[in-house]
Structure 1
Amino acid sequence: MPEPGPRSTPRRAIAVAVAAVGLVTLMAVLGKLNPPVPSGVSTDRLGPERGEPVAEYLARADDSLSGSDTDEHWALVSFTETLTPDRIPAHSGGLRIAQVIHQAQIPRVQTPLVTVQVPAGDAVAVASADNAAWQLLAQPVSDERFARIVAISAARLRAGCACTVGLVVRGTLPNLRVLATQNGIRAVQALPSDAVSGRFAVVPLLPDQTGLVLPGPDDGPLPER
């Protein structure tokens, strides 16, 4: 009787090939039914890059306002000086404020920036400093010095310090260009109109940054309050 092996081997090969084709087909079908979810990573950014000359950023911000479309854009508003919360509405150009950025500044000490998302309305923007204080106190602290910086910053914010360093607003290019000409406004930088809320980074240009955009020193003594 002849051995079955030589005749069964091609059958196995055919069966394996058919199974492989079936697996590839199944994976293709599943891929169409369940497409990969976008990662959500975005390169949109408002504000200067680390190490960027301030003059170059100011020119870049000005260029971002050119155009003739009438769509609304997200834009970063940077000031010539830090503001007390009650002055926020006057520096928004009447536009919808979406974020308020605070920083309690201490000479030669690196203090944290706090960004507060706000609903529509000037009152909530003015009250955002207290929210910023709560955000600061809720974050973990790494050492005793940083714990003191957080405590000092929170106390100053609650006291209504001149600690507002930027706003994110939404408006048309013509309205943003008008805002950029107002007293106390150092720069207005707009994103493309298709930028998605919550999908872009924001780093304000601080009033005391005049050369390169770099972190300041962190060797200064901490005040009592």
Structure 2
Amino acid sequence: MSGREQDPAPLLSRRGRLVLIGACVVAVLIAVAYVTAQASAPGGPPVAQGQVRLGPDPGEPVADYLARLPASLPTPGTRVSALVQLSAEITTAQAATLAPSAVEAVFRVPIPRVQTALRFQLLTGGGEPALTVAQAQALHAAEADAQRQTGRPAAVAAAEAAAYRGPSCACIVALVVQADRAGLDALAATPGVRAVQAAPAGITARELALSPLLPDQATAATPPPDDGPLPS
């Protein structure tokens, strides 16, 4: 073999590495696209992808989920983040009364037999002003979805945006709070609160992956039907 000839093995090795790297890049891009699409899909996985998941597992019987929640509550005196899930969607004013120091709100426009998106909004400050700002952010997200999508998904997002424009929109389905055992027990006993699930101590709202139990999930945590008409 002359000095100008090259052993084909290193060349094939380099080509193999390039093919492998290219395949990995494609796989990552596909995964990112899938997560993005699922995050904004009505009834899909939670938008917030954190270290600790709060909410029922997909398809989990509601009775089983509710039965395991007391074990999640902290020992007395320990302050933790917790997901407060509601029996029905409430307004920002009602949410401010229920949990004035909430750190995150989960919005969902209720339309009978229509899958609408869960929209997760961290709260800056507290009380009704922060919740009002969060509702405006949910409105902007719905408007963006209506412009980006086509067909029924676009129509659903437009219907959501129309609902969010109303100041009395009952569209908060869950809240994230930070409280100790006494505070969480008080919230769990409040009329309209369906379930309270606590995260381990030291977990912040930004580290949570949320998938709240929906008011119309009576028997199992399955996606609601999507065969109903949209409001005009």
**What TM-score do you get using the length of structure 1 for normalisation?**
0.75
Residue from 98, 102, 109 that aligns with 1:104: 109
| Helix, strand or coil at the partner of 2:102 | strand
Partner of 2:136: 130
Partner of 2:96: 89
Cα distance between partner residues in 1 of 2:230 and 2:123: 31
1:88–1:126 CA contact under 8 A, matched in 2: no
| Helix, strand or coil at the partner of 2:85 | strand
1:76–1:188 CA contact under 8 A, matched in 2: yes
Residue from 54, 58, 66 that aligns with 2:66: 58
Residue segments in structure 2 that go unaligned for 5+ positions in a row:
1-48
Q: Which has the higher helix share?
A: 2
Residue from 173, 176, 195 that aligns with 2:181: 173
Report the residue type matching 1:83 in the other structure: I
Report the residue type matching 1:184 in the other structure: G
Report the residue type matching 1:153 in the other structure: E
Give the CA deviation at 1:65.
1.5
Cα distance between partner residues in 1 of 2:123 and 2:196: 19
Deviations 1:57-116 (A, max 9, x none): 112222212523x23211000112111221112221x4x211111111211111111111
Partner of 2:224: 216
Cα distance between partner residues in 2 of 1:118 and 1:136: 18
Report the residue type matching 1:219 in the other structure: D
1:91–1:184 CA contact under 8 A, matched in 2: no
Report the residue type matching 1:197 in the other structure: A
2:86–2:173 CA contact under 8 A, matched in 1: yes
The answer as to 2:171 corresponding to 1:158 is no
Partner of 1:78: 85
Report the residue type matching 2:137 in the other structure: N
Residue from 182, 195, 202 that aligns with 1:187: 195
Cα distance between partner residues in 2 of 1:143 and 1:170: 39
Cα distance between partner residues in 2 of 1:127 and 1:194: 27
Report the residue type matching 1:85 in the other structure: T
Partner of 2:19: none
Report the residue type matching 1:84 in the other structure: T
CA distance 1:121–1:133, change in 2 (3 Å)? same
Deviates more, 1:70-79 or 1:125-134: 125-134
Cα distance between partner residues in 2 of 1:74 and 1:48: 16
Report the residue type matching 1:132 in the other structure: A
1:46–1:204 CA contact under 8 A, matched in 2: yes
Deviations 1:153-182 (A, max 9, x none): 011011132111000111112211111111
Larger Rg: 1
Residue segments in structure 1 that go unaligned for 5+ positions in a row:
1-40
Partner of 2:119: 114
The answer as to 2:210 corresponding to 1:205 is no
Cα distance between partner residues in 2 of 1:177 and 1:126: 27
Cα distance between partner residues in 2 of 1:50 and 1:106: 21
Runs in 1 of length 4+ with deviation above 6 angstroms?
none
| Helix, strand or coil at the partner of 1:78 | strand
